A and B are shown apart, each in its own frame.
Chain A
Amino acid sequence: MKPLFTRGPSQETRLITLAVLSIALFVISYSTDWFHTIRERLFDAVAPLYWITGTPERVTDWAGEQFRSRDELLEENDRLKRQVLLLEQRSQLLAAVKAENTQLKELMNSAEMVDDRVLVAQIIGVSPDPLEHVLLIDKGRDDGVDVGTPVMDAGGLLGQVIEAGNSFSRILLITDSSHAIPVQVLRNSMRTVAEGTGDLYRLKLRHLANTSDIREGDLLLSSGLGGRFPAGYPVGEVMSVTRDPGKPFAEAEVLPRGRMNRSRFVLAVISDRGQGLASE
């Protein structure tokens, strides 16, 4: 059906032109990073949408905190005080151990250890695409966050920044099916790679030698290889190891330590020695 009075090119021509344009955009953004800077600029403009949609949750949170009873608050205060005491004691121990460690490393002429700066960020949104595990946080380049900055919570590593606007950034979680992180087993320093599966509670170790020494309950730390993540942060715990004699490799499933969909606040680890050089 053709309209009586056509103005400009027909809808077919427009559709074909725009389709070609979309495919060109798609190919360009897939094979080059020309659009990366523009996207990061525009990201600052669209991120407030996530913030707006998060408002009801924030209001309920705020109300929940405002209308708590005095007893509850006192109890919580008490608990936190005890926790602080415990943690302080532990950090004192840690300081001694760290000093000793630095001394030993110096003796071995090893690379110097630099403290990582940690930034607290709030999660403002989650990617609407069910096929990707991406979070948005309210810290960006102005705060020192950059592409590749590792992000963690109290439990362990969560992921890394893939897009950094000036005041917001996007984090790819380690459970995303396109993500992989080099890890090592705490018990015996065996190195391997933990791949995301697209499931928030599962990472996978593939291509493990059938004879490799790994078992249920082993803790995995980031190994620092690959130069993205700093070494020594907890990643997950081995849940099960499958050794099938019929297959060339064993596989293991890992439960991530970071709480992928529970944390409100996360920590961005900003290292001063440039992006995540391995400190081994």
Chain B
Amino acid sequence: MQASSRWFIAATIFLSMLLVVMPLPQQWLWFRPAFPALLIIFWVSRMPQSLGVGFAWLVGILEDLVTGASLGTHALALAVLAYFSLLTYQRTRVFNPAQQLLWVFVLVGINQVVGNWVHGLEGKTVPGLTFLWPALTTALLWPCVTPPLRGLCNRLHIR
């Protein structure tokens, strides 16, 4: 990986952290897309040789520090997410947009389930399947974010 690619990836991660803490009205908080998860899926599928579980784990630790969650919460969830993305990136590349959308929903859903499990350990209970809302919004965001991001990567020769 080139230094410029590293900087670009770091910049996208920084941006996603900003979006994570962006103030939203209380009733919209559940619908905030999981931006770091989306980026992990994108980067791991794009550079499976150099980015993997460890990268995702570090991003997760950063997210834990930024959001003030218990250390390890997001790290574990994102590492699991990266692992599943690595297992399937060859197939997802040939998926049509609808299939991709569905697959992102499943992946981020897994991410949310792990997060919810940790929340459960902490004694924070969530009513029903509310915790899956971010998976849905992230999946809906996927087709809007990835083509421009991919275009930008190609133009900047990020590989």
Q: Which single residue of chain A is at the shortest CB-CB distance from B64?
A: A25
| Contact with B21, one of A12, A21, A49, A57 (Cβ below 8 angstroms) | A49
A-side binding surface: helix, strand, loop or mixed? helix
Closest beta carbon of chain B to A275's beta carbon, Å: 22
B79 touches A134 (CB 8 A): no
Give Cα A30–Cα B121 distance, bound, in whole angstroms.
10
A127 touches B72 (CB 8 A): no
Q: Which single residue of chain A is at the shortest CB-CB distance from B74?
A: A22
Is B66 part of the binding interface, using a Cβ–Cβ cutoff of 8 Å? yes
Is B119 part of the binding interface, using a Cβ–Cβ cutoff of 8 Å? yes
A interface residues, how many (CB within 8 angstroms): 43
Q: What string of 1s and 0s marks CB contacts (under 8 Å) between B49-70 and chain A? A: 1001110010010000111111
Q: Which residues of B contact A177 (CB under 8 A)?
A: 124
A14 touches B54 (CB 8 A): yes
Given A15-B53, A178-B123, A261-B26, decide whether A129 and B69 contact each other with a Cβ distance below 8 A. Answer: yes
A1 touches B21 (CB 8 A): no
Q: Which single residue of chain A is at the shortest CB-CB distance from B116?
A: A131
Give Cα A24–Cα B72 distance, bound, in whole angstroms.
8
Residues on A close to B: CB < 8 A? Answer: 1, 3, 11-12, 14-15, 18-19, 21-26, 28-30, 35, 39, 42-43, 46, 49-50, 52-54, 57, 125-132, 134, 163, 170, 177-178, 200, 261
Besides A19-B79, A22-B75, 20 other A-B contacts (C-beta < 8 A): A1-B87, A3-B48, A11-B86, A15-B80, A18-B54, A18-B79, A23-B72, A26-B72, A26-B121, A30-B122, A35-B71, A46-B65, A49-B18, A49-B66, A52-B18, A126-B23, A128-B67, A129-B69, A178-B123, A178-B124
